[in-house]
Amino acid sequence: MNEVLEKLIVAQAVDLELARLKSELAGVPARRKAAETALRAAEDALRKIDEGMRKEEVLRRTQESEVRSYKDKQTRLRKQLDAATSTAQVTALEHEIGFTEQAVAKLEDEELASMERTEQLEIDRSHAQEALERTTATLTRETVACEVLTEQNTARIADLTSERAAIRADVGATEEGERLLSQYDRVAKSKGTALSEATGQKCSACQMMLRTQRWNDITDRDPNSPHKDEVFTCETCGRMLFYDPRRDAPGEWTPGQRLASSK
């Protein structure tokens, strides 16, 4: 295999790993924010439930005091009924007592409904309490995980950045290397990756079939051929193709994974 191409395989593994580490690092604020937002939401939900429970209590106290005042009125009306002297008076008082009885029954029904709402709120409250505990634990865990990740990725990024510079200096030391490196940068910029493994007569990055002649050129390198060190590019996506003879059978190719293992 072309010597520069072999170095570029390592360069791509480094670049992909750097991109992964940086993207993970860039995601840290969002991870933390998501955990904080979930906790705030759980706190809000609990607060709303507590507020609802207080409102129901206030409502029931009002209802109870209204019931008491209607009952006091009933007592007064019954005394007046005992002392009533005309049929008209009796009818009017009985009518008024009936009205207070209906009002009391209605208030008692409403009080019962309020108690049922409170029962439901108590159930909701225990769920909200659980959610609060869960989101608090998640935030603690995420905070620690983000700190560890930040520290580890920052250190690894620094190492890989020096490694990358060294590889690029090495590759760029020859004229051919310089040319292939600029081709690498150009394709990597537009496609994300500049190299692609050829497997099963396909470019593993864009999945397009390679012409049989091209496939044979890549896989059956004749050590005496004048083209043995030639770097072929995929005619469809423009990536530089490489073939790993250690790979016996074609399989899944995940960007980074395959190249990383070629190190």
**DSSP per residue, 120-165:** HHHHHHHHHHHHHHHHHHHHHHHHHHHHHHHHHHHHHHHHHHHHHH
User: Which residues form the interface with Zn ion (CB under 5 A)?
Assistant: 203, 206, 234, 236-237
Q: Which is nearer to Zn ion, 128 or 203 (CB)?
A: 203
218, 243 contact by CB (below 8 A): yes
User: Any idea of the CA torsion for 99, 104, 109, 112, to the nearest 10 degrees?
Assistant: 170
Q: CB of 198: closest distance to Zn ion in angstroms?
A: 9
Q: CB of 259: closest distance to Zn ion in angstroms?
A: 15
Q: Which is nearer to Zn ion, 104 or 234 (CB)?
A: 234
Q: CB of 176: closest distance to Zn ion in angstroms?
A: 22
Q: Which is nearer to Zn ion, 156 or 191 (CB)?
A: 191
Report the Cα–Cα distance between both ends of the chain, in Å, rounded: 14
Q: Which is nearer to Zn ion, 77 or 259 (CB)?
A: 259
196, 206 contact by CB (below 8 A): yes
Q: Which is nearer to Zn ion, 25 or 206 (CB)?
A: 206
Q: Which is nearer to Zn ion, 45 or 206 (CB)?
A: 206
Q: CB of 246: closest distance to Zn ion in angstroms?
A: 21
Q: CB of 167: closest distance to Zn ion in angstroms?
A: 23
Amino acid at 110: E
DSSP code at position 195: E
Q: CB of 206: closest distance to Zn ion in angstroms?
A: 3
Half-sphere exposure for 12 (CA within 13 Å, toward CB): 35
Dihedral of alpha carbons 104, 105, 111, 114, sign: negative
